[in-house]
Chain A
């Protein structure tokens, strides 16, 4: 293998690819806001559009009840909490919309330590901010990533270098990002919504 980033011309396409992917990921990421205590409520977390017909996945600790989600195009929609699993820290929301830009879901089971990962969320009130890092360690219940998150990233996507969502960011532990693997999220969707 050739050493990465030693040949000059590779850097520019890299930056362009990262920017394109950030924009793509931002489209499938929603802001999750609290509801009922005034219109100006700040984002409490993020979510991932899982299905074009209005299914959105987020963390259970972000969605305790019905919430408002804000799409990338600026639309704010009321979302119904349809399933919640605090043990896995997952929740499913449904908005009354169709044709939404849904995320492409990757296989968290195929992740390798050292792979690049990207996260989009609303850390500290910034809307759809990007963080980049890499896979630190992979376990069946959690992906640990060497990547800087902040409160507000919760429920947002962790994506691989192809832009496929491989996890939902859930926690920061000892400086590491901890995400719920996409396999867990798919199992949750199967069990809760089709069962």
Chain B
């Protein structure tokens, strides 16, 4: 039975090593969420659990409550960064999310500390959230994220933080933001207060293009995106894009689905001009759009 005992001790040890860097974040009514003391005076948590901008408090592992200032938030990656003065508990020891393998034992931790046990159920390449943020790798978990666990650390068997758990990015499955992404987004939020995302101000749906039309007009792909919503006074509206236009290419690259558009629209494109090839009334039209920046939630 020695093997079981030593595993048990290792798991309890992992919780104890990570526990000092775990905080409770009081930024919504009722249940607090969990946060990670990321580096001296900086706490990261899941953005969807931050429901107020003022009066946020953070309760550290030493049991003391401290006021926290919201430095920045990125709903796209579901990350919020708080600054907490006088937070003298130890920040998290970070692990390497690149070393994770499917089947590795991991722990999700909540303030308290409270623990949930499971395995890495799937790993995948770079992906984009439904709100447009790029996540460096997909980390899917087979474990239970109990109420209040969002924003807390995903910890490896050695007690190192390898991710930030959230239920805010997928309805059905439990995911972690890898520490690589947390570090990148946190740095950007500390620098600028928000993460800039390129923005056209249109809603689109994929459509198939009939073969005769493609042939007649020399269209690049077999699909396009029909514009179903145009944000008034948005970048696309100002450029003259109309409801019902079918976007078939951006700067010459075919746009068969929304991913193709997002791939063309990194933050570096903000302020530059893209040429949209659209189908309007059965004919090719080119529209030059000056890429805008996605408006922030709550910003006037």
Residues of A within 8 A of B (CB): 1-6, 10, 13-14, 16-18, 20-21, 112-116, 133-137, 144, 146, 160-163, 174-176
**Complex interface residues of chain B between 118 and 160 (CB less than 8 A to chain A):** 143-144, 146-147, 156-159
In contact, A137 and B112 (Cβ under 8 angstroms): yes
Contact of A161 among B1, B105, B115, B158 (CB under 8 A): B1
Provide the B1-38 mask, 1 if CB < 8 A to any CB of A, else 0.
Answer: 11111011111111110010000000000000000000
Residues of chain A lying within 8 A (CB to CB) of residue B39 = none
CB contacts between A and B, total, < 8 Å: 100
Residues of chain B lying within 8 A (CB to CB) of residue A116 = 4, 7-8, 11
In contact, B112 and A160 (Cβ under 8 angstroms): no
Query: Bound complex: CA of A3 vs CA of B11, how far in Å?
Result: 10
Contact of A17 among B3, B15, B113 (CB under 8 A): B3
Residues of chain B lying within 8 A (CB to CB) of residue A146 = 115-117, 143-144, 146
Query: Bound complex: CA of A175 vs CA of B114, how far in Å?
Result: 14
Residues of B within 8 A of A (CB): 1-5, 7-16, 19, 104-105, 107, 112-117, 143-144, 146-147, 156-159
Residues of chain A lying within 8 A (CB to CB) of residue B158 = 1-4
Query: Bound complex: CA of A16 vs CA of B11, how far in Å?
Result: 19
In contact, B113 and A113 (Cβ under 8 angstroms): yes
Residues of chain A lying within 8 A (CB to CB) of residue B147 = 174
In contact, A13 and B3 (Cβ under 8 angstroms): yes
Query: Bound complex: CA of A20 vs CA of B11, how far in Å?
Result: 20
Residues of chain A lying within 8 A (CB to CB) of residue B1 = 17, 20-21, 161-163
Residues of chain A lying within 8 A (CB to CB) of residue B156 = 3
In contact, A135 and B115 (Cβ under 8 angstroms): yes
Residues of chain B lying within 8 A (CB to CB) of residue A20 = 1
Residues of chain A lying within 8 A (CB to CB) of residue B5 = 161-162
CB B117 to nearest CB in A, in angstroms, measures: 5
CB B186 to nearest CB in A, in angstroms, measures: 26
In contact, A114 and B4 (Cβ under 8 angstroms): no
Residues of chain A lying within 8 A (CB to CB) of residue B146 = 136, 146, 174-176
Query: Bound complex: CA of A135 vs CA of B107, how far in Å?
Result: 11
Query: Bound complex: CA of A136 vs CA of B11, how far in Å?
Result: 12
The 3 closest A-B pairs by CB, nearest first: A114-B15, A161-B8, A4-B157
Query: Bound complex: CA of A115 vs CA of B14, how far in Å?
Result: 10
Residues of chain B lying within 8 A (CB to CB) of residue A133 = 117
Query: Bound complex: CA of A10 vs CA of B19, how far in Å?
Result: 26
Q: List 27 A-B contacts (CB under 8 A).
A: A4-B10, A4-B11, A4-B105, A4-B158, A5-B7, A5-B105, A13-B3, A14-B3, A17-B2, A17-B4, A20-B1, A21-B1, A113-B114, A113-B115, A114-B11, A114-B107, A115-B12, A133-B117, A134-B11, A134-B107, A134-B117, A136-B115, A137-B113, A146-B144, A161-B1, A161-B5, A174-B147
